[in-house]
Chain A
Amino acid sequence: MTMTTETLHRLIELYVDGAIDERDRAIVERALEHDAEARLVHESLLELGLAARLSFDEAAESRGFDGLFERVMAQVDGAAAAAAPAARQARDAELELLAMQYADGELHDPRERARVERYLDEVPAARDGLDAIRELGLAARVTAEHHADAVNFALLQDRIMAAVSAEGRPAHVYDRGVKPARTGFWASLAAVFAEHRAAFTGVAAAALVAAVVLPLSLGGRSSEPAVINNYYLQAPSIESVSYDPGYYSTFRPGNDMVAPVVWIEAEDLPADANDDAPNGDDRGI
């Protein structure tokens, strides 16, 4: 079975997520057994998933859900003194956002940087959470770099530069600059071509026409009706129907499913005989 690398990677992602059926699981496991790149992708995804899980677990722990009941009860009981330490430890949403910007190097205001640093010093849980986010970012970056290693960016740059150079320079300048001057037989051939350019161009056009026409004339013709799954590719269409005095006519147009029917029948038949005519769209066109 042929499978693109992209498809295989997608299957590996589903495999890691546990959302894969038996057939695809077998494909992935076979690839993991024989394909080093597949193993690398698999391992990277596992590492990334583990890092993410650990970070979120850590962040969840830092929320201090265990102490929530006690803090609430303390407030309810009016034990302000008991609640004070919890308040001091409270997380500040605004500062947490600023802390994320701080971690990303996007916080430039010295006063806000000072606020965040003070907050992180005072609230260990916030610092732990920030560290977890940093670890997650690091894991993601390592994985991305892992994949980027497989791409030859140097070669990509060369290709881009080559394309830009070719595009920016007129073709005839390029040719004249690179190709050596013709001599001898080739020189005379080139001279003949230059002299009869129109004729050669005409011959080339004629050859092109022949290339199109000859296969048609030699390749035979279709001998079977073009019917696929009983559907007509193109239904015939009824252009006209006429009938003589003493006859009547009815017709049924065709479509993709049924063939058109034209019915022309004598009127002087026994009364029940005309019932054989199909139920057409018209009678006596």
Chain B
Amino acid sequence: MAVPHRRVIDLLFVALIALVVAFAGTDASAQDRANLSVDVIIAGHDGAGVDPALAAHSGRLETQFSQFNSFRRADSSSFQLAPGATHQISIPGGQTVRFSLVSSRSGRYRITVQVPGGETTVESPAGGIFFVGGPRAPDGTIILLVRTR
């Protein structure tokens, strides 16, 4: 039976729409994910200054944490979070910190950071930087420098 050409064109149109929707869906899920990088910093009072590994943030650290005079990077990690997912890192003193992506919308990410003794939720845009600090380490105080990408 011959298929009317009108039917063929309509089917092609529907197929094209489905293809576009599939592409858009894939991209949307990729955009929903947050890329985080975390520097684990040990802040202290031994006068050592800022670790060269933290040179890009030296002004920020010295200004915002003027109660300390030494900043050493103990660890650094980068990871990706999908909405609802959690990532855990270890910090000195046998402690852990958990990062969860609560939601993301229009390039802004709601991230919950659980540290020993409490938690905070921060809404951060791509490129945003925030600090979570306070946990004690054997040789100082821990400050987490969190960047969303």
A residues neighboring B (CB under 8 Å): 192, 195-196, 199, 202-203, 206, 209-210, 213-214, 216-217, 221-227, 230, 232-244, 246-247, 249, 251-252, 254, 258-266, 269, 273, 275-278
> How does the 8 Å CB contact mask read for B35-55 relative to A, with 1 for contact and 0 for none?
100000001000000000000
- Cβ of B6 and Cβ of A262 under 8 Å apart? no
Report chain B residues within 8 Å CB of A216. 27, 31
Q: Is B63 an interface residue (CB 8 A)?
A: yes
Kindly state the separation between the CA atoms of A195 and B16 in the bound complex, as whole angstroms. 19
Contacts of B121 in A (CB 8 A): 238-240
CB-defined A-B contacts under 8 Å, sample of 7: A227-B129, A241-B118, A243-B119, A264-B117, A276-B43, A276-B141, A278-B65
The prevalent SS among residues of A at the interface is mixed
Residue in contact with B120 in the complex, picked from A202, A244, A264, A277, CB distance below 8 Å? A264
Q: How far is the CB of B55 from chain A (nearest CB, A)?
A: 14
* Chain B interfacial residues counted at CB < 8 A: 52
Taking the closest CB of chain A, its distance from the CB of B56, in whole angstroms, is 9
* Interface hits, B98-149 → A, CB 8 Å: 108, 110, 113, 115-136, 141, 147-149
Q: Which residues of B contact A (CB under 8 A)?
A: 5-6, 9-10, 13, 16-17, 20, 23-24, 26-27, 30-31, 35, 43, 59-60, 63-65, 67-68, 108, 110, 113, 115-136, 141, 147-149
Report whether A236 and B115 are in contact in the complex, using a CB–CB cutoff of 8 Å. Answer: no
| A69: min CB distance to chain B, Å | 75
Please, which residue of chain A has its CB at the minimum distance from the CB of B30?
A217
Question: In the complex where A213-B24, A225-B149 touch, is A233 in contact with B118 (Cβ < 8 A)?
Answer: no
- The answer to whether B126 and A226 have CB atoms under 8 Å apart is yes
A238-B122 in contact (CB<8A) = yes
B131:A246 contact, CB within 8 angstroms: no
A252 cross-chain contacts in B, Cβ below 8 A: 64
Q: In the complex, are the beta carbons of A222 and B126 less than 8 A apart?
A: yes
Question: In the complex the two chains form, is B10's CB within 8 Å of A199's CB?
Answer: yes
Partner of A236, one of B6, B134, B148: B148
Q: How far is the CB of A254 from chain B (nearest CB, A)?
A: 7
Contact between chains at A217 and B23 (CB < 8 Å): yes
Question: Which of A225, A246, A266, A273 has most chain B Cβ within 10 Å?
Answer: A225
A6 CA / B78 CA spacing, docked (Å): 54
Report how far A213 CA is from B23 CA in the complex, Å: 8
Q: A225-B129, A236-B123 are known contacts; what are 14 more A-B pairs with Cβ within 8 Å? A: A199-B9, A206-B16, A213-B23, A225-B127, A225-B147, A230-B59, A233-B127, A234-B125, A234-B127, A243-B117, A244-B117, A252-B64, A263-B134, A276-B43
With A258-B63, A259-B64, A278-B67 as given contacts, are A213 and B20 in contact (CB-CB < 8 Å)? yes
Cα-based distance from A222 to B126 in the complex (angstroms): 8
